[in-house]
Structure 1
Amino acid sequence: MSRFLRYFLLLLAAASFIYPFIWMVSASLSSERGLSSLTVFPVEFTWSNYGSVFSKIPLGRAFLNSVLVAVVTTTLVLISGAMAGYALARLRFRGRDLIFYLIIFTMTLPFQITLIPNYITMVKLGWVDTYFALIVPFVLNSLSILLFRQAFTSMPQALIDAARLDGCGELRIIFQILFPNILPTVLTITILTFMGLWNEALWPLIVIRDEPTMTMPQLVTLFSVGGRAEGQLGVKIAAAVMLAVPIVILYLFFQRHFIRSMASSGLKD
């Protein structure tokens, strides 16, 4: 009975989390009159909501922009985070612990605090309405540095020493020797970074005004609140579904590695 009750409560919790997304997909395939129903199946099934989205905004170009920004930035985050994390974990230099604590401290600061200084910097550099404004401010990521540092700390020093004896440089040790041994951590950072960049709408709204350069979250936000949807709730929901689908697919592919890494990446010294 206790096991049955436990699984029943878990099923209720899972249903409460997944039902809003199922309803969102169902509502995007329903007519405007059917949106008042909270059923899990479409009412008066139609594809017109998705057709309206593509006819009113350049969603394909925005999708490619989001993919470009997310992939390039995530790659740079992995490279910079791995090098900084390795230095904080394995190299001995004065002020190392202070730098590490300062990096942890920056994780407690909300992004809005640096919003105005970052925008002024983009204006001074002439990067407004360019991809640089969407990529450069996110290249250094405190969470990635922290996770890499913890992963490298848990690796045996003998492995690094053996690589040095074989003539490997520090970069080769990081990316050819250590990377394959911390794959769950790498995938976790990849997923978290990609998800954060894909869903970022506030910063693009500030630095991008040229529609061909807009990302998908920015364009969907402007579409929903800017009047192009013409008050059609089903069209807005369809745009939101298309924004969420790539993240869901990404997580489904890598969830096993993601869960394993989050369970094993405790803060160890």
Structure 2
Amino acid sequence: MKRELAELTVIKTGPGTSIQDLGRIGFSGFGVPVSGAMDAFAMKWVNYLLGSSENAAVIETLQPGLKLQFNAPTKICVGGALAKIKLNENLISLDKVIPVESGDILEIGAQTLGAINYIGIEGGFQTDEILGSRSFYQGITSISQLSKGNNLSYFKGKSSSITKGAKVKISRDYLEDEVLEVYKGPEWRFLDTESKEALNSSTFTLSKLLNRMAFQIEELVPNLLQEMATAPVYPGTVQLTSGGKLIVLMKDAQVTGGYPRVLQLPEKSIAQLSQKRAGSKFRFKIK
């Protein structure tokens, strides 16, 4: 039987709020970025607690200030960064399934640890699925981020559904961990010894130049590498320019690039880095 759809309305939001799932896999040959949740660990966790599919679409918000109003009952779960979350002005817990009723208002407030929150909903948000994904991306989906007045569809639940059960805890140590495990990239072998040592032992600072496409790093790594013909790149690829600039590609990154690929972050390290703010310090641990 087909489930009845309801909607919520975005009352308020800052820039960068979007719908994300695990992304578009298998289309890079056509120039289509993967996209998907920056912190896939937190996204999967809220879906797990809700009993939804691992790939169910969630709201990703990159800063506080999101305010949503529901027009029908459902269940939600908020995860990711430590933040002040309110439902109808009452504080609610992260990582807990919360029943909501028609007219309820959810607010994401100040974040005290981390930089991204995920709002999951039972069954996932039912936005348009394009190329196997609901993830927003400019030029593929009709909008690239949520704005005031947007409506989002979800499956209508039963009224006054009370959630009971054991309280679960999640470790947020990864939000504070300054060590990012990485692998050697295809062009690592062309680096001189001094450049390799700098990448392996230096403490780096996250620049203010960061978005879903790429994070830049303030410190320079002098090197003798030359730019090359374009080559495949992926989320987590660390590029090193001839001028010494380090660029970490994130989930909305292009699929090819001309800078040497010196390191590659696995999914766990992408999640760690995505939750860091401008000015945060970190180090690479090369596997």
TM range (shorter): under 0.3
- Computing the radius of gyration over CA atoms, which structure comes out larger, 1 or 2? 1
Query: With structure 1 as the length reference, what TM-score do the two structures score?
Result: 0.18
Normalized per residue, the structure richer in helix is: 1
Normalized per residue, the structure richer in strand is: 2
Query: With structure 2 as the length reference, what TM-score do the two structures score?
Result: 0.17
Q: Which structure has the higher relative contact order (CA within 8 Å, separation 6+)? A: 1
